[in-house]
Structure 1
Amino acid sequence: MFISEDGRTYNLKSAICKKGHLQTSTLLPEKKCPIDFCQECGSPIIDCCPHCNSMIIGGVAKEKYILSNLLTGERDRRVTLYKKDYVPNYCSHCGKPYPWVENFLKEYKEILEFQLEESEKDFQNKIYIATEEFIKNNCDIKSFAAQKLKIYFMKINALSREIFVNSLVSFGTDTIKDFFL
């Protein structure tokens, strides 16, 4: 007879506001977040993809059964919740962007249109597509998308470049700023 025995491991659910602020990553799949609005920005909190209704995958739960009575063999079930501090950008079920990414890309496109001339529409689209790919690659500065973006940013004036890079920093770290500027 074993003193402890591992049970199942399963995904927990994350609750994130529509602006991307993580509220919790340790909700049981059938539970709802106890608060409806983000205390940081006031945006509504979601726990499933607005496109396909699949839960936003958070941390994990691990069950363990511990022998509590040697004579009867009775076991106690213990569940340990492991949180995840990472806010995903895209749904793992349908592949569509979450609202915080959609909002960022919409605002980023507006900045592109404002900063670059109408005659540079093709160039705007190239920067936008490279930015989408950069985000899909978790803002990895070693990715091909990052290299393309860097080349594109070198072709625009310093003020515009700084505006675009500062926008991207919201999805990553200051390493992005150091890389692009």
Structure 2
Amino acid sequence: MDYKQSICLNGHQASVNININSVIDSFCTECGAKLITNCMNCDFPIEGDWSRSGAGFVDLTHHDIPIPKYCVNCGKPYPWTQSALNAINEMVNLSELNSNQKDDLKGSIPDLLSDTPKSKLAVFKWKNIGKTILPYIHDIIVEVASESIVKALYSK
């Protein structure tokens, strides 16, 4: 890793090529939230772009660098991921589902955000138990879930 990213607390990517030793003290141009470049839990840099050198030159061509959901060093969710988890959890709490159904859905939320062996089960639960909530969490899911999970959730 040659560079780190700067991402606001709401998940807007500001830069992918911050010098690994730089300290950023600025705010998001999209929403005004504070920008971070390191995990707030363990202070590990958020992996950014890299330079490829060879034959005496450095290629600084930018690549599509995804916004990570979890810290590669400590495994904790980044603030934007935690916000998504909290928002979906709150939607479940506000629903008219019974407490067992709510618990089932809440327990499956992390498996909606990352492809895991339990993701298909989570999709099944949400398409059956949580179908009344799915339209309301659509935008949250699209922003933080993998493309395959989004397709599975919203396909007929």
- Measure, in 1, the Cα distance between the counterparts of 2:108 and 2:27: 33
TM-aligned CA distance change 1:23 to 1:53, over 3 Å: same
Larger radius of gyration: 1
Alignment of 1:80 with 2:80, yes or no, is: no
Distance (whole Å) between structure 2 residues aligned to residue 130 and residue 158 of structure 1 = 14
Structure 2 CA distance for partners of 1:89 and 1:174, relative to 1, 3 Å: closer
Q: Given residue 102 of structure 2, which amino acid in structure 1 is its aligned partner?
A: Q
Secondary structure at the counterpart of residue 125 of structure 1: helix
> Are the counterparts in 2 of residues 58 and 83 from structure 1 also a CA contact under 8 Å?
no
Aligned to 1:131: 109
**Mapped contact 2:88–2:109 kept (Cα < 8 A):** no
Q: Cα RMSD over matched residues?
A: 2.5
In 2, Cα distance between equivalents of 1:114 and 1:178: 25
1:114 alignment counterpart: 94
Quote the Cα distance in structure 2 between the aligned partners of 1:154 and 1:57.
34
Given that 2:105 and 2:129 are in contact with CA atoms closer than 8 Å, whether structure 1 keeps it comes out as no
Residues 1:56 and 2:46 are matched in the alignment: yes
SS class of match (1:25): strand
Query: Structure 1's 65 and 86: CA in aligned 2 closer, same or farther, altered over 3 A?
Result: same
Q: 1:11 to 1:123 in 2, by over 3 A?
A: farther
Letter in structure 2 aligned against 1:91: C
**Aligned CA distance change for structure 1 residues 116 and 148 (closer, same or farther; 3 Å):** farther
Q: How does 1:26-175 map to 2 (within 5 A)?
A: 26-33=17-24, 36-64=26-54, 66=56, 78-81=57-60, 82-117=62-97, 119-120=98-99, 122-137=100-115, 144-156=117-129, 158-172=131-145
Matched with 2:3 is: 12
Alpha-carbon distance between aligned partners in 1 of 2:112 and 2:129, rounded to the nearest angstrom: 18
Structure 1 contact 26–83 (Cα < 8 Å) conserved: no
Gaps of 5+ in 1: 1-9, 67-77, 138-142
Deviation digits for residues 129-174 of structure 1 (CA, Å, limit 9, x no counterpart):
322023132xxxxx54332123212333643232234431222477
Distance 1:57 1:177 in 2: 25
Displacement, 1:180? 1.8
Identical aligned residues as a percent: 21
Question: Any idea what the Cα deviations from partners look like across 1:55-91, whole Å, max 9, x if unmatched?
Answer: 111111233463xxxxxxxxxxx43334443000000
> TM-score by structure 1 length?
0.72
Which structure carries more strand by proportion? 1
Show the counterpart of 1:22: 13
Give the letter aligned to residue 12 of structure 2.
Answer: H
